Amino acid sequence: MKMEKKTVGRLDIRLWSGGTGAPLLYLHGFEHHPGDAAFLNRLAENHLVCAPEHPGFGTSTPLEEYYDIIDVALHYRRLIESWHQGAVDVIGHSLGGMFAAELAVISPHSVRRLVLVDAYGLWLHEHPLPDPFALAPRDLERAKWSDPGKAPMPEPSAFEAPGDADALAIFRAQNLGTATKFMWPIPDRGLNRRLPYIEAPTLIIHGAADGLIPAVYAEAFAHLIPKARVAVIRNAGHLPMLEAEDEFVLTVNDFLA
Amino acid sequence: MRFHWFAEVTYPDLPSDYRERYRSAWVTPPARLADPQKVGETYRMFIRLMQLADQVGFDGLTVNEHHQTVIAMTPSPNLLAASLATSTRNAAITIVGNSLALYNPPTRVAEEYAYLDCVSGGRLAAGFVLGTPMDSVFAYGMPPIEVRARFEEARQLILRAWSEPEPFVFNGKYNKLRYVNIWPRPIQKRIPIWVPGGGGSVETWDLVNEHDYCYGHLSFSGLYSSKPLVDAFWEYIDARGGNLNPHRMAFTQVVCLANTEAEAEREYYEAVRYFHRNSAPGNFGNPPGYTTIRSMKASAAQVSLGRSKLTPEDRIRASRGEMGFWEYDEKGYIIAGPPPRVRQRLRELITDLRIGQLIATPHVGNLREEVAAENTRLFGHEVAPYLRDLWADQPDYWTPEASQKLVAQNAPVVRGSDPRSAARKGATAKQAGSSAT
């Protein structure tokens, strides 16, 4: 994957891209962009992958320039239109899943097929989610991974200064602070009312051991999206693309083929 | 030099293992631990203590806003302020302050502050705060990244609501009001505005510098803990050609007065430990986005911040209640002992940090009322008058004019000088204090 800086509308973002094949947009989760992660390179073997960093994350333009979920959806509509003529496949993970679903609602002509991976965006009263911003670091690790002992170290990330603790603190504050705009205090911005508008065939992938979003949420997404089915990945938590890379890539390729 | 009376309205009867069992004093303290009758008694005690402070010459009675915590049960400081405004005569009502982002619409703050200014006869100092993360972010559900923008919009709305003579339209990002025209309006044409902080955000420093507000470093850890940040504040203001008048700086300091050192230790030690043991924010102290990236970078770059005399271990031990009484004193968390010693140490603190508004804290933790009352009396009679010479050559624009006059007429003065004859001659606080040692 190659990283480049790109201007979309008034926003400057970082974007990782590579591969050949049908165009595939990947929207990352609430903690950080995965950078040049192995799973993205695997997907690039038979897709033209475009993995932008969200505005407000990393070194992309800070959040002040846009401030509502509709602004995010329109940003990604514009990014797709500047990249490819016609609809593309879209994968959205975690917070990126919320964004991808909103994009599919607001711009159905932009999204051919949709994959939501351990997505935020719903709130089930009987299954309250833990507050990821108040978890002690150790508890966050436990919630994220099926097996924290086998978690990839270091986790693939767009962070560019390994070993610099101050820079890492700032990187995380930047990313998570931006995420609070959409996830605080409850990651529900009304998506449950809008999911029925999604026209694209949708695959809901969910790590069976996700301690941040229990797997019951996958069923709730599938229930609200007209053409959706669920694929649960065992031995994976909130990041199945890292903990169960092979199964994740196979499942995605199968669906998008 | 001004002296304000302040204390956190702390629940006095927590189990001794509270810290170990419940970890956080904020956001999630079990409500079942508090007896509402005892809470009511505590409120009445604080009102009595502050009425006493008004009688013994304090310049201000200070209240603040916190939510869902055992150490400060004042979700609406304006209610406490209202009790004081009608039952005191001289002192300013210094509210430090209202968490502007949490009022919807924020004209509520403009209205209540105007009410308080009217009912107190123009004695209000109006505090605008962001609120701690525990308050604004966790208890009130505000996305941390929005708190400052909402605060700023609310501030502008409130100032206009006080001053615009005609109804006006306010089309903000967060507040949309078609008819803004509050009743009543404040007595003071220029209400003193305080914007206390504690985290050293450069955005707050820019705000107070630009508008010449009173800043405040409200901590409970004293000189050595706070000196790097307070020094950094003054350096920042100085570098920008700002106002270096000490009266635009407030600082909190726990004071434990007694006739002897042994008595001080006996009466206050348990209460000091109680306060420090039961004030931990748990995991709620630093959510991402609350402190801006700019402030994080500025903090990392401020050389003075590395100069604290306190070690990280000191801070941990202090927060666990593991210091001895005189170690708390030596490390600056408290200033304890007989009046001459306290005077001397406060004089050092005030000049070292360049403070014109000392927010003395004569009650702490689960201190008994009798001890806090005696502390208050000793401070009013034996400490404050002896320090009023400090900064007497500099005007104070941050305490209400009405209360300045009343306190100057009625406050105790240094023993040996005759307060009544001095008052008849129209003495100012400056003159009354000029013979202080």
pLDDT tens by residue, B23-72: 999 999 999 999 999 999 999 999 999 999 999 999 999 999 999 999 99
Closest Cβ–Cβ partner in B143, B291, B296 for A180: B143
Domain enclosing residue A203, as ranges: 2-256
More confident residue, B421 or B31: B31
pLDDT tens by residue, B290-320: 999 999 888 877 756 666 788 889 999 999 9
Q: Percent of chain B beyond pLDDT 70?
A: 94
d(CA B287, CA B181): 36
Q: For A100, phi and psi rounded to 5 degrees?
A: -65, -40
What is the count of structural domains for chain A?
1
Distances from the Cα of A101 to the Cα of A121, A174, A176, A215, angstroms: 9, 23, 20, 18
Listed residue (A254, A239, A255) closest to A95, CA to CA: A239
Rounded mean pLDDT of B390-406? 98
Closest Cβ–Cβ partner in A170, A175, A179 for B296: A170
> Would the CB atoms of B143 and A181 count as touching at under 8 Å?
yes
> Would the CB atoms of A177 and B146 count as touching at under 8 Å?
no
- What domains are there in chain B, each with its CATH number? 2-433 (3.20.20.30)
The pair of three-digit structure tokens given for residue B17, joined into one six-digit string: 């293992």
A229 min Cα distance to partner chain B (Å) = 33
Q: Is B172 on the interface with A (CB under 8 A)?
A: no
> Would the CB atoms of B288 and A133 count as touching at under 8 Å?
yes
Rounded mean pLDDT of B306-335? 92
> Would the CB atoms of B296 and A133 count as touching at under 8 Å?
no
Q: What is the pLDDT along chain A (257 residues), one digit of tens a residue?
A: 999 999 999 899 999 999 999 999 999 999 999 999 999 999 999 999 999 999 999 998 887 766 799 999 999 999 999 999 899 999 999 999 999 999 999 999 999 999 999 999 999 999 999 999 999 999 999 999 999 998 998 899 999 998 899 999 999 999 999 999 999 999 999 999 999 999 999 999 999 999 999 999 999 999 999 999 999 999 999 999 999 999 999 999 999 99
Closest Cβ–Cβ partner in B141, B144, B300 for A177: B144
Task: Provide the CATH number for the domain around residue A100.
Answer: 3.40.50.1820
> Which of B145, B147, B153, B291 to mutate to test binding with chain A, by most A CBs within 10 Å of its CB?
B145
pLDDT band, very low/low/confident/very high, at B431 (cuts 50, 70, 90): very low
Listed residue (A171, A177, A176) closest to A59, CA to CA: A171
Angle at B7 between CA B6 and CA B11, to 5 degrees: 160
Angle formed by the axes of helices B107-119 and B77-85, to 10°? 20
Q: In chain A, which residues have their Cβ closer than 8 Å to the Cβ of B291?
A: 173
Closest Cβ–Cβ partner in B284, B291, B300 for A134: B284
Range in A83-92, B289-298, B371-380, B426-435 the model is least confident about: B426-435
Q: Is B296 on the interface with A (CB under 8 A)?
A: yes
- Is residue B141 classed as helix, strand or coil in its secondary structure? coil
Nearest CA in chain B to A138: B283
Residue B422 in this model has a pLDDT that exceeds 50: no
Q: In chain A, which residues have their Cβ closer than 8 Å to the Cβ of B145?
A: 63, 177-178, 180-181
How is residue B133 annotated by DSSP?
I
Nearest CA in chain B to A165: B300
> Would the CB atoms of A177 and B137 count as touching at under 8 Å?
no
> Would the CB atoms of B144 and A136 count as touching at under 8 Å?
no
d(CA B376, CA B369): 10
Q: Is B145 on the interface with A (CB under 8 A)?
A: yes
A196 min Cα distance to partner chain B (Å) = 27
Q: Is A192 on the interface with B (CB under 8 A)?
A: no
Tell me if B250 sits within 8 A of B95, measured CB to CB.
no
Q: Percent of chain B beyond pLDDT 90?
A: 88
Residue B433 in this model has a pLDDT that exceeds 70: no
d(CA B148, CA B326): 39
> Would the CB atoms of A174 and B293 count as touching at under 8 Å?
yes
Q: Is A124 on the interface with B (CB under 8 A)?
A: no
pLDDT at residue B14 in the model? 97
Chain A, chain B: beta-carbon pairs less than 8 Å apart:
56
A159-184 burial: b if 16+ Cβ within 10 Å, else e: beeeeeeeeeebbebbbbbbbbbbbb
DSSP string of B395-429?
A: ---SS-HHHHHHHHHHS---TTS-HHHHHHTT--H
pLDDT at residue B307 in the model? 67
d(CA B266, CA B226): 27
More confident residue, B252 or B228: B252
Q: Is A130 on the interface with B (CB under 8 A)?
A: no
> Which of A67, A133, A138, A178 to mutate to test binding with chain B, by most B CBs within 10 Å of its CB?
A133
Nearest CA in chain B to A186: B141
Closest Cβ–Cβ partner in A170, A175, A176 for B297: A170
Range in A215-224, B214-223, B246-255 the model is least confident about: B214-223
> Would the CB atoms of A173 and B289 count as touching at under 8 Å?
yes
Q: In chain A, which residues have their Cβ closer than 8 Å to the Cβ of B144?
A: 133, 177, 180, 184
* Paired strand residues for A11: A8
Closest Cβ–Cβ partner in A67, A176, A186 for B289: A176
pLDDT tens by residue, B148-189: 999 999 999 999 999 999 999 999 999 999 999 999 999 999
The β-bridge relationship of strands B193-197 and B176-180 is: unpaired
Nearest CA in chain A to B147: A181
Nearest CA in chain B to A132: B287
> Would the CB atoms of A174 and B297 count as touching at under 8 Å?
no
- ipTM reported for the complex, 2 dp: 0.93
A133 min Cα distance to partner chain B (Å) = 6
Q: Is A164 on the interface with B (CB under 8 A)?
A: no
- CA dihedral defined by A114, A119, A122, A128, rounded to 10 degrees? 160
Q: Is B297 on the interface with A (CB under 8 A)?
A: yes
Closest Cβ–Cβ partner in B142, B143, B293 for A173: B293
A62 min Cα distance to partner chain B (Å) = 10
Give the mean pLDDT of chain B.
93
- Amino acid code (one letter) for A212: L
